[in-house]
């Protein structure tokens, strides 16, 4: 195995392959910065050019894209409060308030450094787990996957603050919106009323752009001025952000490992990983007073998990030919173009290639982070430009990005509708993330529940892993309540004295 | 003074009623889902019926809680926990004037859509940017023109480099 590890590095150090990796990183950063475009889009763009290319170079390029998008999508999330891709939604919660306080560079510095470390931990975990991965993947049946979706939904209670009912209601609305389109377990189209556009359901990208992008743009325009309210230069600068990451090294490690673990499970998208990690860091922190207002931990936790998960999603993709995410489905297609059959045999017959992928992931993360850090100062300066000059650019990009989903006018109608809905929700204090989480988990929950019931009747409830995940849910939820009580007692104690 | 007890204008009253209106809309929506799902096959029916029923029940509780709060407002304001779920609009953003400004900008976005439907996105963007910057923000001609041209260049480059497509208009213009 050590031979293959070294061979993999030398194969990748060929100048052409390294250049292709770097080109992939640049493309990944470009599509990551543009809201609505993600890794899937980036990979789809280069796929037609891969035919006839050296397989190692082509694969390095694709991995370069996959590695760079989770770092670059932080720019719009932090600077404008707009998710750059589905995996950077939770970063907005604290990254954007930091930018508004004039600490954009610090937030970006923390995000990029956490992303890089997370990405490298992901690559290391992939290396370490390759020999043991098979039994773990096989341990997750549909009942366990259903419980994981419930675990994601249980985070809503944590995220909804002092108005949990409104949060749960928003999640219910999200789940119901998720039922529009083809039913996952029956040959039936629901709530489509003959509209062809609705047959595939509502697009996650459009829902996310509508809920988060348009309301922020409109509010910033209505407020007037610039995105950042204070102007102490660019705040503490990106070095301060890097120092924050180093100071919270255990947080980075913990959330990287969570990212890998969840990424390892096929179908658990980057949005789920993102929100789950954000909910977890809020839940487990003693001082939660700054979350949602610009706490750097709220940037570090989801960002480290976000990049680390790429190592996780590669495991089922390479080991079983089961794509760990939609972008990995495309990557799988690219492997087949090169005549490579993913699966357990890959480990036996072409271990060098597995390590080329792992090295590409590690180096792609380093290149991506360095490039993003280099760009962070000039791009963070955008927060001090009068927003009426920035808004037209962002609106045009958002509209254009939304239209790429199906290239149908319905995309634009949906974008506007969800924009108005998100704006109204923000105004009345109904949290928007639960709606998004409910929407994401809707199809998965329905599919897994139905399959579990069909396969095991209700006996699936007693499976050990199901019980273990249920116990984890209970611990997280009751732990949160106990922490809240303790915090209140501690706050009350000095007042009584 | 906006928001002062007993001196709320009609705009402020509409804003104050918005949470209740949204809760009622959610209740109606969830009940509609349950009713509509009755016509689906079993496999397609169960999930929306269960989730719709649960959502309707919770929405009914929220509606009741809001009505109770209106009838009997608490003597002391409830202590709010730190919001970690979403950005919270501050008090200065809960005024009729702010809502009106917000709706105005949604109107501008609809304006972009209308221009796009007529001319296509490629031609609509520079016209819309010029109109927004000049008419709404009274920006100088030079930066307005510069931004409009830069955006035309950007969307053209995106089409060439990333093969993105944009909506066409009713008028048969090139691009």
pLDDT in tens, A304-323: 888 888 788 777 777 766 66
- Residue among A217, A292, A430 minimizing CB distance to B84: A292
- Residue among A186, A291, A423 minimizing CB distance to B44: A186
Distance CA A470, CA B20 (A): 34
Rounded to an integer, the average pLDDT of A458-467 is: 89
Beta partners for residue A235, in sequence order = A233
Is pLDDT of B32 > 60? yes
Distance CA A43, CA B11 (A): 49
Whether A449 sits inside 8 A of B61 (CB atoms) is no
Cβ atoms of A273 and A279 closer than 8 Å: no
Coil/strand/helix, residue A323: coil
* Closest chain A residue to B134, measured at CA: A388
Whether A173 sits inside 8 A of B88 (CB atoms) is no
Whether A393 sits inside 8 A of B62 (CB atoms) is no
**How far is residue A208 from each of residues A92, A117, A200, A225, A393, measured CA to CA in Å?**
12, 27, 17, 25, 18
The number of residues in chain A equals 497
Beta partners for residue A190, in sequence order = A181
- Chain B positions touching A27 (Cβ under 8 A) are none
Whether A161 sits inside 8 A of B93 (CB atoms) is no
C-alpha A79 chain-centroid distance? 17
- In this prediction, residue B60 has a pLDDT band, given cuts at 50, 70 and 90, of very high
Contacts of residue A221, Cβ cutoff 8 Å, sequence gap at least 6: A387, A388, A391, B101, B105
Q: What is the 3-state secondary structure (H, E, C) of B67-91?
A: HHHHHCCCCCCCCCCCCCCCCCCCH
Question: Would you state the pLDDT for residue A88?
Answer: 74
- Chain A positions touching B61 (Cβ under 8 A) are 165
**b/e sequence B99-133, b meaning 16+ C-beta within 10 Å:** bebbeebbebbebbbebbbebbbbbbbbebbbbbb
Interface test with A, best of B22, B31, B51, B86 (most A CBs within 10 A): B86
pLDDT tens for A108-131 read 888 888 888 888 888 888 888 776
- In this prediction, residue A442 has a pLDDT band, given cuts at 50, 70 and 90, of confident
Residue A175 touches partner B, C-beta closer than 8 Å: yes
Residue A217 touches partner B, C-beta closer than 8 Å: yes
A486 burial level (CB within 10 Å; 0-12, 13-18, 19+): exposed
Cβ atoms of A330 and A33 closer than 8 Å: no
Of chain B, the percentage scoring pLDDT greater than 90 comes to 55
Residue A264 touches partner B, C-beta closer than 8 Å: no
Q: Report which secondary-structure segment, H or E, holds A190.
A: strand A189-190
How many CB atoms lie under 10 A from the CB of residue A322?
A: 17
Distance CA B68, CA B72 (A): 6
Cβ atoms of A85 and A72 closer than 8 Å: no
User: Which of B79, B85, B99 has the alpha carbon at shortest distance from B17?
Assistant: B99
Coil/strand/helix, residue A182: strand
Of chain A, the percentage scoring pLDDT greater than 90 comes to 9
* A48-56 own/partner pairs: CB under 8 Å, 24+ apart: A50/A334, A50/A337, A50/A338, A51/A337, A53/A20, A54/A16, A54/A17, A55/A338, A55/A339, A55/A340, A55/A353, A56/A11, A56/A12, A56/A14, A56/A17, A56/A353, A56/A356
Q: Which of A182-186, A287-291, B60-64, B84-88 has the lowest mean pLDDT?
A: B84-88
A158 burial level (CB within 10 Å; 0-12, 13-18, 19+): buried
- In this prediction, residue A486 has a pLDDT band, given cuts at 50, 70 and 90, of low
Phi, psi for A190 (deg, rounded to 5): -110, 140
Residues 420-459 of A with CB under 8 A from B: 420, 423-434, 442, 445-446, 449-450
Q: Smallest CA–CA separation between B84 and chain A, in Å?
A: 5
Q: Smallest CA–CA separation between B24 and chain A, in Å?
A: 12
- Residue among A186, A293, A429 minimizing CB distance to B41: A186
Q: What ipTM was reported for this prediction?
A: 0.91
Question: Would you state the pLDDT for residue A483?
Answer: 58
The number of residues in chain B equals 175
- In this prediction, residue A234 has a pLDDT band, given cuts at 50, 70 and 90, of low
* Closest chain B residue to A181, measured at CA: B44
Interface test with B, best of A395, A417, A419 (most B CBs within 10 A): A395
Residue A463 touches partner B, C-beta closer than 8 Å: no
DSSP state of A114: H
Question: Would you state the pLDDT for residue A48?
Answer: 64
pLDDT tens for A384-420 read 778 888 889 889 988 988 888 888 999 999 999 999 9
Q: Smallest CA–CA separation between A152 and chain B, in Å?
A: 14
Distance CA A115, CA A96 (A): 17
Q: Smallest CA–CA separation between A289 and chain B, in Å?
A: 6
Q: Smallest CA–CA separation between A182 and chain B, in Å?
A: 9
Is pLDDT of B79 > 70? no
Q: Report which secondary-structure segment, H or E, holds A151.
A: helix A142-159
Residue A192 touches partner B, C-beta closer than 8 Å: no
More confident residue, A22 or A344: A22
Coil/strand/helix, residue A262: helix
* Closest chain B residue to A401, measured at CA: B164
Q: Checking phi first, is residue A161 left (phi over 0); if not, alpha (psi -120 to 50) or beta?
A: left
Rounded to an integer, the average pLDDT of A425-433 is: 85
Distance CA A477, CA A491 (A): 21
- Chain A positions touching B137 (Cβ under 8 A) are 388
Distance CA A14, CA A20 (A): 10
Question: Residue B31 corresponds to which tokens in the numbers above?
Answer: 């009940």
Q: What is the 3-state secondary structure (H, E, C) of A264-287?
A: CCCCCCHHHHHHHHHHHHHHHCCC
User: Which of A4, A11, A15, A2 has the alpha carbon at shortest distance from A56?
Assistant: A11
* Closest chain B residue to A42, measured at CA: B162
Is pLDDT of A356 > 70? yes
Distance CA B86, CA A430 (A): 8
DSSP state of B40: S
Cβ atoms of A353 and A14 closer than 8 Å: no
Q: What is the pTM of this model?
A: 0.74
Is pLDDT of A89 > 90? no
How many CB atoms lie under 10 A from the CB of residue B94?
A: 18
CA atoms within 13 A on the CB side of A180: 22
More confident residue, A181 or A490: A181
Whether B81 sits inside 8 A of A396 (CB atoms) is no
The secondary structure of chain B in percent helix, strand, coil, rounded to multiples of 5, reads 70, 0, 30
Look over chain B and give the mean of its residue pLDDT values, rounded to a whole number. Answer: 85
- Residue among A173, A186, A219 minimizing CB distance to B43: A186
């Amino acid at each position: 195995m050590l031979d293959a590890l070294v061979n993999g590095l030398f194969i990748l150090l060929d100048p052409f392959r390294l250049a292709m990796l770097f080109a992939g990183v640049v493309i990944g950063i470009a599509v990551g910065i543009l809201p609505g475009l993600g890794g899937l889009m980036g990979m789809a763009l280069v796929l037609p050019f891969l035919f006839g290319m050296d397989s190692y170079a082509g694969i390095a390029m694709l991995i370069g894209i996959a590695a760079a998008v989770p770092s670059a999508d932080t720019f719009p999330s932090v600077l404008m409060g707009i998710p750059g891709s589905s995996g950077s939604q939770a970063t907005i919660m604290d990254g954007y308030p930091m930018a508004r306080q004039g600490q954009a560079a610090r937030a970006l510095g923390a995000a990029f450094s956490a992303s890089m470390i997370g990405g490298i931990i992901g690559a290391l975990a992939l290396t370490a787990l390759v020999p043991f991965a098979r039994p773990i993947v096989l341990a997750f049946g549909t009942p366990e996957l259903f419980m994981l979706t419930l675990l994601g939904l249980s985070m809503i209670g944590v995220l909804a603050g002092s108005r949990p009912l409104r949060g749960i209601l928003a999640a219910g609305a999200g789940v119901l919106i998720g039922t529009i389109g083809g039913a996952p377990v029956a040959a039936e189209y629901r709530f489509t009323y003959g509209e062809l556009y609705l047959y595939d359901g509502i697009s996650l990208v459009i829902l996310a752009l509508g809920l988060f992008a348009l309301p922020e743009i409109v509010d910033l325009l209505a407020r007037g001025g610039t995105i950042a309210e204070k102007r102490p230069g660019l705040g503490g600068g990106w070095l301060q952000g890097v120092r924050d990451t180093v100071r919270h090294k255990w947080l980075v490690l913990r959330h990287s490992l969570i990212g890998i673990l969840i990424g390892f499970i096929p179908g658990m998208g980057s949005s789920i990983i993102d929100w789950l990690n954000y909910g977890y860091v809020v839940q487990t922190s003693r001082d939660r007073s700054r979350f949602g207002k610009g706490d750097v931990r709220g940037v570090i936790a989801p960002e480290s998990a976000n990049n680390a998960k790429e190592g996780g999603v590669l495991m089922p993709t390479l080991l079983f030919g089961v794509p760990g995410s939609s972008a990995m489905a495309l990557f799988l297609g690219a492997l087949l173009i090169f005549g490579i059959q993913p699966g357990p045999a890959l480990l036996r017959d072409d271990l060098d290639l597995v390590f080329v992928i792992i090295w590409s992931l590690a180096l792609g993360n380093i290149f991506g982070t360095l490039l993003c850090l280099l760009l962070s100062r000039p791009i963070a300066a955008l927060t001090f430009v009068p927003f009426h000059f920035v808004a037209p650019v962002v609106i045009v990009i958002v509209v254009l990005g939304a239209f790429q989903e199906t290239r149908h006018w319905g995309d634009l109608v949906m974008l506007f509708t969800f924009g108005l809905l998100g704006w109204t929700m923000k105004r009345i204090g109904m949290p928007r993330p639960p709606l998004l989480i409910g929407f994401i988990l809707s199809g998965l929950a329905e599919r897994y529940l139905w399959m579990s019931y069909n396969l095991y009747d209700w006996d699936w409830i007693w499976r050990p892993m199901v019980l273990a995940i249920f116990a984890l849910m209970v611990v997280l939820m009751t732990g949160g309540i106990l922490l809240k009580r303790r915090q209140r007692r501690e706050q009350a104690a000095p007042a009584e004295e | 003074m906006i928001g002062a007890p007993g001196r709320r204008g009609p705009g402020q009253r509409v804003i104050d009623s918005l949470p209740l209106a949204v809760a009622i809309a959610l209740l109606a929506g969830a009940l509609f889902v349950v009713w509509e799902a009755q016509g689906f096959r079993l496999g397609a029916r169960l999930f929306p019926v269960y989730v719709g029923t649960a959502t309707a029940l919770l929405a009914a509780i929220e509606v009741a809680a809001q009505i109770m709060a209106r009838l009997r407002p608490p003597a002391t304001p409830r202590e709010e926990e730190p919001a970690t779920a979403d950005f919270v609009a501050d008090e200065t953003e809960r005024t009729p004037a702010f809502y009106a400004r917000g709706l105005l900008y949604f109107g501008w976005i609809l304006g972009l859509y209308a221009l796009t439907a007529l001319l296509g996105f490629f031609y609509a963007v520079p016209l819309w940017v010029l109109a927004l910057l000049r008419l709404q923000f009274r920006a100088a001609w030079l930066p307005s023109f510069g931004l409009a041209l830069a955006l035309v260049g950007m969307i053209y480059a995106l089409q060439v480099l990333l093969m993105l497509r944009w909506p066409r208009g009713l008028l048969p213009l090139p691009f």
